Structure 1
Amino acid sequence: MRICLVASNRFAIREPFAGGLESMTATLARGLAERGHEVTLFAGPGSQVHPEVRLSPLAVVEVSAAAMADRFAPGPEWVADHHAYLALMLSLARTGAEQFDVVHNNSLHHLPVSMAPALAVPVLTTLHTPPLPLLESALALSPDASRFVAVSEWTAAAWRHVVASDVVLNGLDLAAWSPGPGGGPAVWSGRLVAEKAPHLAIDACRAAGVPLVLAGPVQDVDYVEREVVPRLGGEVTYAGHLTGAALARLLQEASVAVVTPAWDEPYGLVAAEAMACGTPVAAFARGGLAQVVSPDSGVLVPPGDVAALAAAVVRAARLDRRAVRAHAEATCGADAMVEGYLARYAELGQRVDAA
């Protein structure tokens, strides 16, 4: 098949990944290319995935100072996003059917959804987040122009008041995230932002008397300076923004992975990565984590309850690492994700042929 993958125009699809959406897109692109499909990726500059994946350049624009001086002008990032996605969708409206069999939208932008009716090629959109206002607005105007997939049952339910969706769980390369012996410190990984609340992981691990290593990109400097930096020191360290291989090594040695969402986690790829390494999870039970983490692979506690999380850190570390890995193999593999999307692409192609 000829597949156009649409991702974020702000973040490169390359190691170390900016977040779970970028990691999932890279895994999907690689899996599709390895199966012999022709993949074109629309993503941020500097993207680097499988050598057989073709990268689509972003359209850029320089808006005049006079235009940006308008008191109601949006910020330059908003303008850049709008221009890049508008250019892509206009191009696909003109020649998309000549180039592609399916467009798979993994972005969070509203234009790929709102402009889907203008395309002669079918569009599949993956819902990676809880409902967003501009996406709901786009869906109100074109509810049937795209088919939708959610990354977990929770995410599908969160969007059900707007649109129905299938569920294809995110997946990862289980060979790259291989099991390790454990026994080391606890690990918290992910984007260092307020909605991921790494400061609560620090508080819980200090209460439990368990050393903690943080890893991930600093994407909210004010939050990190206010809540995380003052808590560092002693047995709490920050390892930086790691590549997948480096993070896998850290998780292989970890006794437990701590996941502390202060929002409804749509899936929880960091939990899947830990479990693939045989490392059990101690987490707040928010969003899709209840589907990703099983009683054999982790301990879930009420959101925001730091005392309960401290106890969960100790309990989870006692779980059988072989059972944790087995759960990951059964539920978190990339092969199942890639095959799930290929099945949806084929169904969309059949609908077009029938029409």
Structure 2
Amino acid sequence: MFVALNISATPNRLKILILSTPVGALGSGLGGGVELTIANLARELQSRGHIIEIVAPAGSQLGDLAIIQIPGSLQLTAQTQELSASIVMPSDPVLANMWATARTIQHDYDIIFNTAFDWLPFYLTPFFDRPIAHFVSMGSQIAAIDLAIERVAIDYPGTIGVCTRTQAETFKFGDACCIVGGSGVDPSVYEYCAAPEAALAWLGRISPEKALEDAVAAAQRTGLNLKIMGKIQDVAYWEQINRDYPDAPIEYLGFLPTYELQQALRTCRGLLMTPRWVEAFGNVAIEALACGVPVVAYRRGGPAEIIADGKTGFLVEPDSIEGLVAAIDRLPEIDRADCRHAAETIFSQSAWGNVMESWFYRLVG
């Protein structure tokens, strides 16, 4: 089914078309960690001589990266739906419009990289001539999507990439997935801070599955200021937290671009990660490590595979406020230089680029 690699100028250069998430414009924060994943991967592969173009919803911005802007209605996020939910397509769906565009221009590229966690791209896979590398950025959420992914995993071996083993294990077909990591950071973009202030940080989309209220409760117990950064995806949820914890020492800084985010993050004593669901990876964790900030996370999902317990942070029992508080008290034990070193080596943009480049080469044959 896959066609032969057709590269004209440089023998190892690939022409890669990246299909973005359909839940929000790039740069809006609605796409969560996928936005950073796309930006970092595109820049890393460009630096290696590959040609990159991105197809994304209208209004998308990622600095100087080339984006084909596609109009249409945004898709519902999978994490807000039940396991038994039906497939839903809005009127004039941007997801369908993006993939119609991709099918029209596919022969200008060697490979397509899909980051949309939705049924349609997997269903459409047999109708494309170019190989598609499907990057699955969440664990099992909706049964219908799981089935669509499983069929591709069986019929097109090696084309389903997941972030972590923990994430893969949420799928019945987990053994058929390639573990490719979730992202990598450019350490030069993040400033190391050896002497933090008496403050904590929490980063991410503000929605129930992220359990921000646990971090707020822990901050209130410790008396440390909690800097909250991220897109407010569920306004009612955010307002409820403020009602439940009116005296908590919290400061909402908004959804910040990377430079401003790392300036606020780097001076914090630690980052709290409190997911209620199985987090596939955790881009915010490696951003914190790049600043020298240790991470206190629930031992659940991707963060459990990122954090070296006792060295770059602490892993605590899921949903335990007591565990968070105890780990926060131990943060001074962590050598912040070890956190930075992990970001410069294991979780660097360059290291992740090696993995993704190898995966793409395998798929184009």
After superposition, the Cα gap between the structure-2 partners of 1:158 and 1:246, relative to the gap in structure 1 and judged at 3 Å, is same
Amino acid aligned to 2:325: A
TM-score normalized with structure 1 length: 0.87
Q: Which residue of structure 1 lines up, in the alignment, with residue 211 of structure 2?
A: 197
Q: What per-residue deviation string (whole Å, max 9, x for no partner) do you get for residues 98-143 of structure 1?
A: 2110001011121111111111100100111011323223135443
Amino acid aligned to 2:323: A
- Match for 1:78 among 57, 73, 89? 89
Q: Which residue of structure 2 lines up, in the alignment, with residue 153 of structure 1?
A: 165
SS in 1 for 2:330: helix
Task: Tell me whether 328-337 or 251-260 shows the greater mean CA deviation.
Answer: 328-337
After superposition, the Cα gap between the structure-2 partners of 1:78 and 1:176, relative to the gap in structure 1 and judged at 3 Å, is same
SS in 2 for 1:57: strand
Q: Which portions of structure 1, spanning 4 or more consecutive aligned residues, are displaced by more than 6 angstroms?
A: none
SS in 2 for 1:186: strand
Measure the CA separation in 2 of the matches of 1:94 and 1:18: 25
Identity in percent:
25
- Structure 1 residue 326 corresponds to structure 2 residue 341: yes
Q: Which residue of structure 1 lines up, in the alignment, with residue 268 of structure 2?
A: 254
- Match for 1:55 among 67, 72, 86? 67
Measure the CA separation in 2 of the matches of 1:110 and 1:163: 20
- Structure 1 residue 273 corresponds to structure 2 residue 281: no
After superposition, the Cα gap between the structure-2 partners of 1:60 and 1:215, relative to the gap in structure 1 and judged at 3 Å, is closer
Amino acid aligned to 2:352: M
Measure the CA separation in 1 of the matches of 2:251 and 2:336: 24
Q: Which residue of structure 1 lines up, in the alignment, with residue 123 of structure 2?
A: 114
Quick check: 2:217–2:248 contact (8 Å CA) kept in 1? no
Q: Which runs of 5+ in 2 are unaligned?
A: 1-13, 74-85
Q: What per-residue deviation string (whole Å, max 9, x for no partner) do you get for residues 24-66 of structure 1?
A: 1111112222222221111122222252x432232538xxxxx
- Match for 2:317 among 287, 295, 302? 302
TM-score normalized with structure 2 length: 0.85
Task: Tell me whether 251-260 or 160-169 shows the greater mean CA deviation.
Answer: 160-169
Q: What per-residue deviation string (whole Å, max 9, x for no partner) do you get for residues 300-354 of structure 1?
A: 111111011111111124311111211222221111222211111111111xxxx
SS in 2 for 1:79: coil
Q: Which residue of structure 2 lines up, in the alignment, with residue 42 of structure 1?
A: 55
Q: Which residue of structure 1 lines up, in the alignment, with residue 300 of structure 2?
A: 286
- Structure 1 residue 6 corresponds to structure 2 residue 16: no
- Structure 1 residue 131 corresponds to structure 2 residue 118: no
Measure the CA separation in 1 of the matches of 2:191 and 2:180: 22
1:239: Cα distance to partner?
1.6
- Structure 1 residue 103 corresponds to structure 2 residue 117: no
Amino acid aligned to 2:229: A
Equivalenced residue count is 334
Quick check: 1:9–1:42 contact (8 Å CA) kept in 2? no
Measure the CA separation in 1 of the matches of 2:332 and 2:32: 26
- Match for 2:358 among 326, 338, 343? 343
Quick check: 1:154–1:288 contact (8 Å CA) kept in 2? yes
Measure the CA separation in 1 of the matches of 2:102 and 2:25: 21
- Structure 1 residue 224 corresponds to structure 2 residue 238: yes
After superposition, the Cα gap between the structure-2 partners of 1:88 and 1:240, relative to the gap in structure 1 and judged at 3 Å, is closer
Q: Which runs of 5+ in 1 are unaligned?
A: 62-73, 351-355
Task: Tell me whether 226-235 or 181-190 shows the greater mean CA deviation.
Answer: 226-235
Amino acid aligned to 2:196: G
Quick check: 2:278–2:302 contact (8 Å CA) kept in 1? yes
Amino acid aligned to 2:203: S
Amino acid aligned to 1:292: I
Q: Which residue of structure 1 lines up, in the alignment, with residue 97 of structure 2?
A: 87
Q: Which residue of structure 2 lines up, in the alignment, with residue 215 of structure 1?
A: 229
1:253: Cα distance to partner?
0.5
Measure the CA separation in 1 of the matches of 2:243 and 2:55: 36
Quick check: 1:17–1:243 contact (8 Å CA) kept in 2? no
Task: Tell me whether 139-148 or 129-138 shows the greater mean CA deviation.
Answer: 139-148
Measure the CA separation in 2 of the matches of 1:332 and 1:15: 24
